[in-house]
Amino acid sequence: MRAAIVVRPIDCSALLAEVAATSNGATVLFTGSVRASSDGRAVSGIDYDAYEAMAREELTRIVREAVERFATSHVVAEHRTGALSLGEISVAIAVGHPHRGLAFEAARYVIEEIKLRLPVWKQELFTDGTRTWVDARLDTRTPVR
Amino acid sequence: MTVRVLLFASWADALGARSVDLDLAADATAADVLAALSERAGGAALPRPALAVNRAIVPGSTRIASGDEIALIPPVAGG
């Protein structure tokens, strides 16, 4: 298992190689990438900001949880930060498992928890020159009162 | 005591800095930090943040200690 916050491009082949084992009958790779439109507006790229020290710890926790819940040590996740262009991969998760069902479930678990918990923020850059911080307001997080 | 608060995303933009130093009472809480930062932001329309102390989200009642790593956490949007 491994988790990392990276500035460099994510190498999916390296992630797949990392989770490869002859005990695995299934390998799942999930990638999230920069999409060309958001709510009908044309996007030219995304800038990712992160609280790197906390994000690294939180991503490590999430990957460890997946390892424990889905009974495989072959889970690797990377989240990229900085300025990304259209189509570039911002997050990748590779899972190797003896069976496909739990491989899919583990990858799904990691990406959903990333969305909920990782202290990472994205600013969408639109082709008209404007930019907006995405406000994925989450009612699952207990606000500080 | 003086504490440094790390800022990110919309809050860093609004306050024009990646961190701010706050003078707090010795018995200050997380809620006091949030209140002080909201005041600095003035009327800016910003998403309601949480506060992380030593890289974990804490409730408002948490006491702040000198030397804590404090960060303002806007609603997260990774992936």
Residues 6+ apart with CB under 8 A from A17: none
The count of other CB atoms within 10 Å of the CB of residue B78 is: 27
Report the SS3 class of residue A48. strand
* Dihedral of alpha carbons B32, B38, B40, B43, sign: negative
B59, B69, B75 member nearest A136 (Cβ)? B75
**Interfacial B residues in 34-73 facing A (CB < 8 Å):** 34, 47-52, 55-60, 69, 71, 73
Q: Which two tokens stand for residue A68?
A: 């424990």
B8 and A51: CB-CB below 8 Å?
yes
pLDDT (0 to 100) of residue A144: 40
User: What pTM did the predictor assign?
Assistant: 0.93
Q: Which residues of A touch B10 (CB under 8 A)?
A: 121, 133, 135
CB A111 within 8 A of CB A30: yes
Q: Do B52 and A91 touch (CB under 8 A)?
A: no
Average pLDDT over residues A1-17: 98
- Measured between CA atoms, how close is A81 to chain B, in angstroms? 10
Preferred mutation among A121, A131, A134, A139 to probe B, highest tally of B CBs within 10 A? A121
Q: Closest by alpha carbon to A15, among A75, A82, A64, A62?
A: A75
CA distance B32 to B60: 8
Q: Is the Cβ of B78 closer than 8 Å to some Cβ of chain A? A: yes
Q: How near does any CA of chain A get to the CA of B26, in Å?
A: 20
Max CA separation in chain B (angstroms): 38
Residue A44, pLDDT > 90, answer: yes
pLDDT digit string, tens, across residues B14-66? 999 999 999 999 999 999 999 999 999 987 889 999 999 999 999 999 999 99
Q: Which residues of A touch B50 (CB under 8 A)?
A: 141-144
Split at pLDDT 50, 70, 90, the class of A137 is low
Q: Is A142 within 8 Å of chain B by CB?
A: yes
Q: What angle do CA B64, B34, A120 make, to 5 degrees?
A: 95
